[in-house]
């Protein structure tokens, strides 16, 4: 570290303190090569281990790698020393949405814009199996263009946290924004709980205050359980109707995100491009790509890079169980890996619907309970003559995707695989 300029890893210059919490401090930073502004979240390893927070840190990393959306704060990379973990994140300089609401209610068209962007981001997170569980104005940031960015995934949940009943059971979040079923300490659907929180946020943006508030916490809980609130007269009838459909105490009767997006008040002025998952931006039956022997893009594979040096060991931060079967290393060239992936797709009757150098999207023929299975495959360079191949599900059922990875792809790709992630690598280097 350059003490004079406070440069870490010869890559980022750390500047002023932006904020701090119990376990982390966030600093303004700049990439010394590109001058790009970033936010650097610094976590003390010993402190989080002592407080038993390592699972939460691990989950936050896993979640932020899964969700790439224009309205979600981007995690650029994770770096570490023996004592500290550094999250390098997108710098969002507009501050918290909470700061705007604290000055008073927003105009309805402005509130609607933020709500549209919020629902777009939340819908995308849910499509990736991620439930935020702590949605509130303090966790919604605004960029220099006034666009919303969802942040703070420390309390979010992944599918692995579902119990046998298919529900989540951890009580978390901020009481004023938490769904009644979560407060009751019973199993709950993460998607429906997030929708309730979004409804509270919409109310706050339009009203300028919370729908459920009382100095006595138990009285406030009773209001939440009964969904007792009053809508101020300045809120339009159309917005009132939507709020009344979201803030429904019975989660089974609560409106869904797809239904919210069909409401005329919501859909007016809503850009569908906002809600499109970044990984799904493909062109059906595009032109065939001529493979060249150029190098694949560099992969910021901190799981692999960190394991190469004892001072950068992050191995205990990642969920091998989740990624097993969907990430492997290879010593083959990028163009050969892509050719093999296309052959495997044809063998298992998957249609390559979109492809470009070192990235393709393949789609199955059969309709599952969640539509056709679509799988993205990307090839990256980790080191000279070492590539990493990553699969990700972009549509369809998770169980079908797991079956494809474990029963179809793994045996078919054995000739080009050096090591699957989570398995011991006994090959010679």
Can you say which residues are annotated as belonging to the binding site for ATP?
41
CA distances from 285 to 74, 242, 289, 359, 363 (A): 30, 39, 11, 14, 11
CA distances from 372 to 284, 365, 403 (A): 15, 7, 14
Core vs surface per residue 361-394: b (16+ CB within 10 A) or e: bbbbeeeeeeebbbbbbbbbbbeeebbbbbbbbb
**CA 92, chain centre distance (Å):** 16
Beta bridge partners of 20: 25
- Annotated catalytic residue within 2, 46, 55, 134: 134
To the query of whether residue 46 is one of the catalytic residues in this protein, the response is: no
**Cβ-count burial of 395 within 10 angstroms (0-12 exposed, 13-18 middle, 19+ buried)?**
buried
> For residues 221 and 180, what is the distance between their CA atoms, to the nearest angstrom?
8
Quick one: which of 127, 59, 137, 134 has its CA closest to 94? 137
Quick one: which of 94, 105, 113 has its CA closest to 151? 94
Beta-carbon contacts of residue 107 (< 8 Å; ≥ 6 apart): none
Residue 87 region by backbone torsions, left for phi larger than 0, else alpha for psi between -120 and 50, else beta: beta
Given a contact cutoff of 8 angstroms between Cβ atoms, the answer to whether 339 and 290 are in contact is: no
> For residues 287 and 382, what is the distance between their CA atoms, to the nearest angstrom?
28
Which pair of structure tokens corresponds to residue 105? Answer: 């209610």
As annotated, the active-site residues are 134
């Amino acid at each position: 570290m350059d003490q004079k300029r406070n440069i870490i890893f010869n890559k980022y210059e750390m500047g002023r303190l932006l904020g701090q919490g119990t376990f982390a401090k966030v600093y303004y930073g700049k990439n010394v090569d590109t001058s790009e502004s970033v936010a650097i979240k610094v976590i003390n390893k010993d402190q989080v281990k002592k407080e038993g927070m390592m699972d939460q840190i691990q989950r936050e990393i896993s979640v932020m790698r899964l969700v790439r959306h224009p309205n979600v704060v981007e995690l650029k990379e994770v770096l570490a020393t023996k004592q500290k973990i550094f999250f390098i994140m997108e710098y969002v300089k507009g501050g918290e949405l909470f700061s705007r609401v604290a000055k008073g209610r927003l105009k309805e068209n402005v509130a609607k814009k933020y709500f549209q962007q919020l629902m777009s981001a939340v819908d995308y997170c849910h499509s990736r199996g991620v439930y935020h569980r702590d949605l509130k104005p303090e966790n919604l940031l605004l960029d220099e263009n006034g666009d919303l960015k969802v942040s703070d995934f420390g309390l979010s949940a992944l599918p692995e946290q579902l119990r046998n009943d298919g529900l989540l059971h951890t009580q978390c979040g901020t009481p004023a924004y938490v769904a009644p079923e979560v407060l009751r300490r019973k199993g709950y659907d993460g998607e429906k709980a997030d929708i309730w929180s979004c409804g509270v946020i919409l109310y706050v943006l339009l009203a300028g205050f919370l729908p459920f508030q009382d100095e006595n916490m138990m009285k406030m809980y009773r209001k939440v359980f009964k969904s007792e609130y009053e809508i101020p007269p300045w809120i339009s009838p159309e917005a009132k109707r939507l709020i009344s459909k979201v803030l429904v105490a019975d989660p089974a009767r609560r409106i869904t995100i797809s239904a919210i997006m069909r409401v005329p008040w919501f859909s007016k002025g809503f850009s569908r491009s906002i809600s499109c998952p970044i990984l799904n931006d493909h062109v059906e039956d595009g032109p065939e790509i001529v493979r060249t022997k150029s190098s694949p893009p560099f992969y910021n594979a901190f799981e692999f890079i960190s394991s190469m040096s004892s001072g950068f060991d992050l191995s205990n931060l990642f969920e091998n169980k989740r990624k097993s079967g969907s990430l492997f290393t290879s010593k083959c060239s990028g163009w050969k890996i892509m050719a093999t992936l296309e052959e495997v797709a044809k063998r298992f009757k998957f249609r390559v619907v979109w492809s470009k150098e070192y990235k393709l999207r393949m789609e199955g023929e059969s309709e599952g309970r969640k539509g056709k299975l679509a799988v993205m495959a990307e090839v990256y360079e980790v080191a000279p003559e070492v590539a990493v191949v990553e699969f990700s599900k972009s549509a369809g059922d998770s169980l079908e995707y797991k079956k494809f990875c474990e029963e179809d792809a793994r045996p078919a790709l054995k000739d080009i695989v050096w090591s699957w992630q989570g398995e011991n690598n006994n090959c010679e280097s």
